[in-house]
Amino acid sequence: MAQNDRLKWLVLLTVIVGTFLGRLDQTVVSLAVPKIMEDFNILVSEAGWIATAYILANAVFVPVWGKLGDTIGRKKVYIWGFTIFIVGSILAGLSWDLGSMIVFRIIQAIASSADYPTAMAIIAVTFRNGRERAQALGIWSSAFAASAVFGPLIGGPLIDNFGWRSIFLINLPVGLIGLAMAIVFVQESVSDRKGVYFDWYGAITLGIALSLLVFGLDRSYDWGWTSLPIVLSFVGSGLFLYIFYLIDSRHPEPIVDFKFLRIPAFFHTLVNNFVVFMGMMGGIFLIPIFDQVFLGYSATETGFQFIPMAFAMMLAAPLGASLVGKIQPRYVIAASTLVAAVGMYLFTGLDARSGPLDIVLPIIIMAFGMGFGMSQRTGIIAAIVPSEEIGSASSVLALVRNIAGAFGIAIFTTLLNNSIENNLLAISANSVVNVHAPAVLQAVSGLMYLDAQILAYHTVFIVSALFMFVAAALALLIDVKETKEGEEIIIDI
């Protein structure tokens, strides 16, 4: 193998380490949520902010980093992301309450958001051959699954033996390894269209708009959808989104280039991503909580149940990539999303008597479906936009995914709480207790509340599956015809 070829694959390994680090953090934190809830004495709706704040900050800064990478250099941005992430991880491990945890998670998210757009752009400029690039993207996609394997293996025992704080500190050695590899192997690259004016006003207005939107969604259950603060949040979000559109539609170097949305394949890929990730993230967020609260599993046992998910994705991602150029992407994405929807629907069979297989089987089916379409989605973006704009374009894809995840968690935790309340009222209205001994009444009340909670989880999983079924249908609208001049065709329809 030539020296240049060896370097290309070392670069790929480097960005895999970075992706692995960011996704490892997300995996182990989800396992730690029940312990953090207990330590900070918070409810599920409040704990949702640990994930929502991370996703929101990640969403806001992904396009910022993507644009910076294209203009000042992807290697610089990548290294800065590693460094800030390590610092944020240490701070998160020192959190003393929910507020401090959210602040430090935001710092982590800001840093982690540098990975996706710069990593994809680095791969795109490193692997010029179209089919080789598709292969590299497929292998890189497997890193998402690998983190799900090692997350439970590392995070579960750490949480059970050393407490939840240890999961943040584990990022230090992995981060230092990734940082050293990035410094040694990654070559600096910038867009051919050198940036001059950074879109700070666009970044600020987008951040405010998304923050107000997710805040309104998250607080709507406690304060009421028609309460003044919630209405003002939604109105303010709409206003700032409009201002953001006015700014970026006229800015010479916008954070989000709206011309991408005029490419039908790009637009429909974004729509599919938004709907499917909203359904998936909203449902999956609740699985570790169900495991540990209702089934009595430890963090380690919960984590082990997610390991097959990772292997399913690692198997499916390269298989999906191998179909690039052979089958139209819309059919692969639609079929894979449909399989994922079936997996999500199977969670509706969960109850307090469920065993490990009742969790593992739906996870495997859902993960295989998600993994099979992963490289197809990223491949579409790489195929239809100019090489010098891949960082910016991929950051839009990541932005949509993250917004969808924030939507899903906020909406579905609200749906869960509303469903519990409604179910409890319905069960109480249709129940008759003939024995009035205090101990019996207490036991009956506990059983009624347990039943109301489990039925509420079923409602969430049904709605989540419906979102993913809709996403499967929307995938059929994706029609890739655009190719880039001077390069081998990646997707040839």
The answer to whether residues 304 and 217 belong to one domain is no
Domain assignment present for 142: yes
Domain assignment present for 491: no
**Domain CATH code at residue 95:** 1.20.1250.20
Q: How many domains does the chain have?
A: 2
pLDDT at 388: 62
Q: What is the pLDDT of residues 30-42, one digit of tens each?
A: 777 778 888 888 7
The answer to whether residues 130 and 221 belong to one domain is no
Domain assignment present for 489: no
C-alpha separations of 291 from 46, 300, 302, 406 in Å: 19, 11, 6, 22
The answer to whether residues 380 and 455 belong to one domain is yes
The answer to whether residues 268 and 288 belong to one domain is yes
Domain endpoint, select from 217, 232, 252: 252
What CA–CA distance (Å, rounded) separates 283 from 263?
A: 31
What CA–CA distance (Å, rounded) separates 397 from 378?
A: 8
Domain assignment present for 492: no
What CA–CA distance (Å, rounded) separates 123 from 394?
A: 12
The answer to whether residues 17 and 77 belong to one domain is yes
Provide the 10 A C-beta neighbour count for residue 246: 12
Residue tagged 């590392």 (tokens): 154
Return the structure tokens found at 247.
């700014």
What CA–CA distance (Å, rounded) separates 222 from 220?
A: 6
The answer to whether residues 48 and 174 belong to one domain is yes
Q: What is the pLDDT of residues 466-489, one digit of tens each?
A: 988 988 888 888 876 644 443 433
Predicted model pTM: 0.68
Q: Could you tell me the residue range of the domain that residue 207 belongs to?
A: 199-252
Domain assignment present for 335: yes
pLDDT at 243: 93
**Of residues 7, 320, 321, the one with CA closest to residue 135:** 321
pLDDT at 3: 46
The answer to whether residues 306 and 235 belong to one domain is no
Burial category of 161 from C-beta neighbours within 10 Å (exposed 0-12, middle 13-18, buried 19 and up): exposed
Return the structure tokens found at 420.
């519990």
Domain assignment present for 483: no
The answer to whether residues 312 and 228 belong to one domain is no
The answer to whether residues 260 and 203 belong to one domain is no
The answer to whether residues 159 and 205 belong to one domain is no
What CA–CA distance (Å, rounded) separates 115 from 428?
A: 50
Q: What is the pLDDT of residues 350-408, one digit of tens each?
A: 888 888 888 889 988 988 888 787 767 777 776 677 666 666 676 677 777 767 776 78
Domain assignment present for 227: yes
Phi and psi angles of residue 437, each rounded to the nearest 5 degrees, phi first: -65, 140
Domain assignment present for 442: yes
The answer to whether residues 284 and 308 belong to one domain is yes
Instruction: Report, as ranges of residue numbers, the positions in the chain whose pLDDT lies below 50.
Output: 1-3, 482-493
The answer to whether residues 107 and 35 belong to one domain is yes
